[in-house]
Structure 1
């Protein structure tokens, strides 16, 4: 597949999905450096903070792997990957709302919304349909 036959909407969607994955990794890693602040804000013991951050990290890695894998398949014109990306993103948004809103989670929510918009644009659907027609 030549790169130049990929529509702009697809390239933007792919960039956004990958940006989400990278952003989630960096913000999760950043929390480990702020564990003292997390402990101060929550009043939790060091063990509770470690357990909380461990859970957040495990979930973040699951989302990152899912985004990276599904984005790769989406770029290979797998329509089901587009659907799966959107479903994973919805689960991710619910997870963010469950864990709590912060500045970084708002950025993640905005990136997810933008990625979904570009993933479902008419030109993207047309690009995916071209493969089924061949």
Structure 2
């Protein structure tokens, strides 16, 4: 079975995982343009804000790369990729909870929850089982 023949829940899950990766990068990039507001809200020095933003950027790139790579493997029907995506997502959710509540974090949490639901749909399990039958 080819990628374009993936069932609808798989295509939706893939779209969501990739959307999460892109969204995380855009949100983090946007924070760099709001460094003045971050400094004002936190009362941190310019160096502390830069260090914070660098840390956020590194973590965001790691999550985005992991989502992109694992989504590719998920589409190739690597059974472990589905589990790895879910584990990375849970770690990401915990990371977001440590950062605190924001609109962007809530959107990301919602996207992750929906992506996990579609990743573990019965039709997805059937799609993976078909590989063993071929």
State the partner residue of 1:46. Answer: 46
Structure 2 gaps of 5+ residues are none
- Distance in 2, matches of 1:23 and 1:110, equals 12
The answer for unaligned runs of 5 or more in structure 1 is none
After TM superposition, give the deviation of residue 5 of structure 1 in Å: 2.3
Structure 1: distance between partners of 2:3 and 2:75: 10
Deviation digits for residues 31-66 of structure 1 (CA, Å, limit 9, x no counterpart): 000000000000000000000000000000000000
Verify the 8 A CA contact 2:7 2:123 in the aligned structure 1. Answer: yes
The Cα RMSD (Å) is 0.8
Distance (whole Å) between structure 2 residues aligned to residue 3 and residue 87 of structure 1: 23
Separation of aligned partners in 2, 1:17 and 1:99: 21
CA contact (8 A) 2:3 2:76 kept: no
The residue number in structure 1 matching 2:35 is: 35
Task: Describe how 1:25-104 pairs up with structure 2 within 5 A.
Answer: 25-104=25-104
Residue deviations 1:3-29 (CA, integer Å, cap 9, x gap): 442100000000000000000000000
Counterpart Cα distance in 2 of 1:45 and 1:98: 21
* C-alpha distance in 2 between matches for 1:4 and 1:68: 17
Cα gap change, 1:59/1:4 in structure 2, threshold over 3 Å: closer, same or farther? Answer: closer
Deviations 1:53-103 (A, max 9, x none): 000000000000000000000000111000000000000000000111100
